[in-house]
Amino acid sequence: MANLPVLVKPASSLSTTTLISALWNEPNWDAQVEIARQLENRPDLFNLNPLFEFLLDGSQNRRVQRAVARCTARLGLAQTLKQIEQRVLDSGVADAQKLLALRALADMARPEKTVPLLARFSTLRSLPMAVRQAAFFRLGQSGSLQALPLLLHRVNSRDSQTAAMARQALATCLELIGGTQGAIQGLLRKSIQLAARGQRGEAGALLAAAMRLSINDQRNNGNVGRQLCQLLAA
């Protein structure tokens, strides 16, 4: 902290407006990250537009943008998700801006909220192919169990480009989770948790994904089948 400017040290003495201005104008990346962390604890920060625009500025440092993305997720996740959705779906927005919006979505590190939106973008034929490809890429990079049902479904798409993008994303996602074995076990555990909370639809989707992954794996096939029967009988 010794190299940080005096500006960001006494956070309680600075207005939120001053901190946002400093975020944009401060040349020191470490200081910018610290400012983003301080902004996370500002309950009076209602207008997240300046932070959202920061995320879509391709000239900004990536580490700083990740910190800002986490900040926006904490302060107003629903608001930020809505802004990203509007930006991506707007036909008047350049593809480059849409790709930055998808990157910001991934930077939030909230897969339970961001994966469904990425999944939607990946299957929208009205979006440019580059944007759909980026959405599949982000799904794979998420390493999220929640992404597996969609990816497993899309690998069998009649559209060869969609199937290819899904296969690549699925391979990446499985690798990050810990391989097929790790994915199956993770899906089983998560499905049990969801079923216990009464979310049977979501639990069934994860179990179905586990079943598809285990078709060629005799070690787990029976276990998945038993879990599926128990869920259906509950």
Decide: 14 and 7 in contact? Cβ < 8 Å.
Answer: yes
- Across 201-224, average pLDDT: 75
Q: State how far the alpha carbon of 58 is from the alpha carbons of 38, 53, 96, 99, in Å.
A: 23, 10, 9, 10
Residues 71 and 126 in one domain: no
Residues 57 and 100 in one domain: yes
Reported confidence tier of residue 26, pLDDT bands at 50, 70, 90 = very high
How far, in Å, CA of 182 to CA of 163, rounded?
A: 23
Domain boundary among 154, 177, 200: 177
Decide: 119 and 145 in contact? Cβ < 8 Å.
Answer: no
Domain boundary among 177, 198, 218: 177
Rg (CA), the chain: 21
Q: Residue 7 pLDDT more than 90?
A: no
Residues 122 and 98 in one domain: no
Residues 171 and 187 in one domain: no
Tokens of 29: 């990346």
Q: 2-10: which pairs have CB atoms within 8 A and are 24 or more residues apart?
A: 3/28, 3/30, 4/28, 4/30, 4/31, 4/34, 5/31, 7/31, 8/34, 8/35, 8/38
Find, among 170, 121, 166, 168, the residue nearest to 143 by Cα. 170
Reported confidence tier of residue 229, pLDDT bands at 50, 70, 90 = low
How far, in Å, CA of 59 to CA of 62, rounded?
A: 9
Q: How many structural domains is the chain composed of? A: 3
pLDDT tens digits for range 143-189? 999 999 999 999 999 999 999 999 999 999 999 999 988 898 899 88
Pairwise pLDDT comparison (128 vs 223), residue with the higher score: 128
**Running DSSP on this structure, what letter comes out for residue 159?**
S
Q: According to the model, what pLDDT value does residue 5 have?
A: 47
Domain boundary among 52, 75, 109: 109
- What type of residue is 1? M
- Across 69-79, average pLDDT: 92
Q: Is 219 helix (H, G, I), strand (E, B) or coil?
A: helix
> Which structural domain range is residue 190 located in?
180-234
How far, in Å, CA of 74 to CA of 90, rounded?
A: 25
Total-model pTM: 0.82
Q: According to the model, what pLDDT value does residue 234 have?
A: 56
CA 188 and chain centroid, separation: 22
How far, in Å, CA of 51 to CA of 48, rounded?
A: 5
- What type of residue is 43? P
Residues 148 and 202 in one domain: no
Residues 55 and 158 in one domain: no
